């Protein structure tokens, strides 16, 4: 079957709000040297896509008109010069560049990850980023140990949900924070021991009642005013790990004398430079935990490209739990049931 020359793509012409999205027909890109063309199946609704759309990030190459879609799964449809043609037809995860809000997307072939046969395409576009971020933040940056107490901000988000399960798997007591009763119930359903609504001002007192000496590890991808409470809630020799600030702001820097007096450490974590490589013990263990459903991936809803603008708006209003998925090619990509 010959390749089509045109495809549907959801684009935005300049930084702005979700109302600027336009679904249009554009040429199918042609893979260049070292590149692979993916027929896109599903895209996870990563907050980075919303931040890129609004012009808030500059650590990924962005050209306008812009087609978001960072975390995607699909099947390799064509390859450029220098790429092994046996890659064609392979189910893959692509997480190194945007472009997933389109029927076809280009990626550097050497950054693609083969999707484990036990994991379907829809789960595949979510599990890797969320589970690997949570695992590396807890174990590498947070130096997690058995029987510790862990406090997780944004516990109803995808990374938070995976962190709950990873910490419970390690034998830890898990305390979650999220906004509103529905998110509290959602986080509890994934095994957190305690979950508190951070819209209620008494939440720090509830944490102290559970851990009078403080918590051992705090995982914070939320930032905002709640992050200012982290230092006070950390136990001696405890670790605070920052992985982002979806609430919009980071906490004020902590003076070195405070770190000394409190006997605590603060770390930041960016997954890419420290990620355990394919085939490593950690890589295999994380994939097994997902494939065997010991850790459940929080797929909360599925929308089409036509409904992405609404999804972005709800995400920015903090009305999305777990990870929403955008269906692009979906079930028809390669006949696999997703």
Which residues contact residue 146 at a Cβ distance below 8 angstroms, ignoring those fewer than 6 apart? 170, 171, 172
In this structure, how many other beta carbons lie within 10 angstroms of the beta carbon of residue 204?
Answer: 16
Mean per-residue pLDDT, 74-83: 97
Q: 331 falls in which pLDDT band (50, 70, 90)? A: low
In this structure, how many other beta carbons lie within 10 angstroms of the beta carbon of residue 335?
Answer: 7
DSSP lists the bridge partners of residue 23 as 10
- pLDDT tens for residues 219-272? 999 999 999 999 999 999 999 999 999 888 999 999 999 999 999 999 999 998
The full set of domain ranges for the chain reads 6-115+298-332, 131-274
Q: What is the pLDDT of residue 247?
A: 87
Mean per-residue pLDDT, 280-302: 97
Which residues contact residue 70 at a Cβ distance below 8 angstroms, ignoring those fewer than 6 apart? 43, 44, 46, 48, 49, 52, 60, 95, 97, 98, 100
Q: What is the pLDDT of residue 307?
A: 97
The pairing of beta strand 323-327 with beta strand 299-304: parallel
Q: What is the pLDDT of residue 60?
A: 79
Altogether, the residues listed in the chain come to a count of: 338
Reply yes or no on whether the pLDDT at 334 is more than 80: no
Q: Which long-range contacts (CB under 8 A, 24 or more apart) does 228-235 make?
A: 228/252, 229/204, 231/258, 231/262, 231/264, 232/204, 233/151, 233/204, 233/207, 233/208, 234/262, 234/264, 235/149, 235/211, 235/264
127: closest CA among 320, 294, 332? 294
CATH topology of domain 131-274: Rossmann fold (3.40.50)
Domain with residues 6-115+298-332, CATH architecture? Alpha-Beta Complex (3.90)
* Fold match between domain 6-115+298-332 and domain 131-274: no
71: closest CA among 147, 158, 5? 158
Mean per-residue pLDDT, 59-63: 84
CA dihedral (161, 162, 166, 169) positive or negative: positive
DSSP lists the bridge partners of residue 8 as 25
Lowest mean pLDDT among 29-43, 51-65, 149-163: 51-65
**Percentage above 90 pLDDT, the chain:** 93
Tell me the CA distances in angstroms from 76 to 17, 44, 111, one per residue in order: 32, 18, 13
């Amino acid at each position: 079957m010959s390749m089509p020359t045109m495809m549907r793509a959801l684009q935005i012409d300049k930084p702005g709000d979700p109302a600027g999205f336009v679904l249009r027909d554009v040429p199918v890109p042609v893979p260049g040297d070292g590149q692979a063309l993916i027929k896109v199946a599903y895209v996870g609704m990563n907050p980075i896509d919303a931040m890129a759309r609004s012009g808030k990030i500059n650590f990924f190459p962005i050209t306008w008109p812009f087609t978001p879609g960072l975390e995607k799964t699909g099947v390799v449809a064509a390859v450029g010069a220098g790429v092994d043609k046996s890659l064609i037809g392979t189910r893959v995860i692509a997480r190194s560049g945007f472009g997933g809000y389109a029927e076809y997307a280009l990626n550097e072939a050497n950054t693609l990850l083969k999707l484990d046969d036990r994991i379907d395409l829809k789960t595949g576009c979510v599990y890797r980023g969320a589970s690997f971020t949570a695992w590396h933040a807890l174990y590498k940056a947070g130096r997690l140990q058995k029987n510790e107490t862990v406090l997780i901000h944004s516990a109803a988000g995808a990374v938070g949900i995976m962190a709950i399960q990873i910490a419970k798997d390690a034998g830890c007591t898990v305390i979650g924070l999220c906004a509103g009763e529905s998110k509290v119930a959602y986080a509890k359903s994934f095994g957190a021991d305690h979950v508190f609504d951070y819209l209620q001002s008494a939440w720090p007192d509830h944490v102290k009642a559970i851990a009078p000496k403080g918590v051992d590890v705090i995982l914070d991808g939320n930032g905002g005013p709640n992050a200012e409470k982290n230092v006070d809630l950390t136990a001696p020799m405890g670790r605070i790990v920052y992985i982002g600030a979806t609430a919009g702001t980071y906490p004020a820097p902590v003076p070195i004398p405070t770190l000394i007096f409190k006997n605590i450490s603060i770390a930041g974590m960016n997954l890419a430079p420290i990620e355990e490589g394919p085939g490593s013990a950690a890589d295999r263990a994380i994939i097994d935990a997902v494939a065997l459903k010991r850790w459940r991936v929080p797929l909360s809803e599925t929308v089409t490209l036509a409904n992405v603008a609404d999804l972005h708006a709800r995400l920015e209003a903090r009305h999305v739990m777990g990870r929403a998925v955008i269906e692009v090619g979906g079930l028809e990509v390669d006949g696999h049931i997703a």
